[in-house]
Structure 1
């Protein structure tokens, strides 16, 4: 990869911010009655998906401190929409004030750029999942999708399939970047 292609890794926090802003925009109109809706994520309801997103946000917040505990944090009680909104907002503050250059996860150490970029991928794609579950047309922002798509080969490996991601779905080469990103991750855009 060229230095230009790796720029999003170097600016991982900015990429994470854009992913969070997209997802918060998607969450804005979500109402409690929609929480039982199915999502593109296997057998998960929207409630299940939002609990997962919230747990991811909590882990990313912890990562801003330089370490992520491998023990699950447990489910956040209450309204998952409110929890995701609150934790997403707090996450950006934690990352922008962090002085860590690496994050320890178990025995591994990742750069903050890689972890923030992986977080951006998780947050953005699950934001799209929320939009799909609620029947709203909210495509991924083109520039965000392009950057995440370029970094996918570094973040998603064959070993991640089928456990974390389904097999890629074919789409035309002329498809929008967001559709190509979603298809690469096993979603039907």
Structure 2
């Protein structure tokens, strides 16, 4: 079984160029997550990274108010925060037991942040006209875990309803559709 820190490091490597490639003029653009424009999705992803870093250390997380972190060197801050996320999940015991207030197996929680980092990187890439190829291991490992969590995630309004796909859809397209995303989504034309 591949270590969570290794999976997160690979997902981070795919996400960093996407975040670095977001132009400030694109921050108000729509994303495949209809409830978020680019700026709000970046803020949400920062909140996810910070909180799942705490969960790796078995500390409580706070998913209350989402602060606006898209100021100053926010791209550099994202690189630092995600590096710390990888380190946190590589610490001895991070994948053992149950995490903070979520009361879920630590490995499951790690798979949740792996899915978020991968899917939201795609969201941001698609919204800003960038290419994105997910880490295949991240998709292979996170896909089944998120499929298992999908009913709860839909109930909690974390995932949308699944999107129907044609036969032969790739594993990543299946993962996107599972979370309520249309893998063919493109930004609306101005």
TM-score normalised by length of structure 1: 0.83
Matches within 5 A, 1:89-100: 89-100=83-94
Matched residue pairs, number?
180
Matched, 1:19 2:11: yes
The alpha-carbon distance between structure 1 residues 41 and 130, as it changes in their structure 2 partners (threshold 3 A), is: same
The counterpart of 2:138, out of the listed 144, 167, 181, is: 144
**Are the structure 2 counterparts of residues 57 and 111 from structure 1 closer, same or farther at C-alpha, using a change threshold of 3 Å?**
same
Unpaired runs of at least 5, structure 1: 1-6
Residue 34 (structure 1) aligned with residue 26 (structure 2)? yes
Q: Runs ≥4 in structure 1, deviation > 4 angstroms?
A: none
Q: What is the deviation of 1:32? A: 1.4
RMSD over equivalenced CA pairs, Å: 2.3
Higher strand fraction (1 or 2): 1
Alignment partners' CA distance in 2, 1:53 and 1:159: 17
The CA distance in 1 between the partners of 2:152 and 2:52, in whole Å, is: 24
**Aligned match of 1:105 in 78, 96, 100?**
100
User: Residue 55 of structure 1 contacts residue 73 of structure 1 at CA under 8 Å; is this kept in 2?
Assistant: no
> What does residue 43 of structure 2 align with?
51
- Among 159, 162, 170, the residue aligned to 1:168: 162
1:64-79 map, 5 Å: 64-70=56-62, 72=64, 74-77=66-69, 78-79=71-72
Judge conservation of contact 1:103–1:112 (CA < 8 Å) in 2: yes
Give TM-score, length-normalised by structure 2. Answer: 0.82
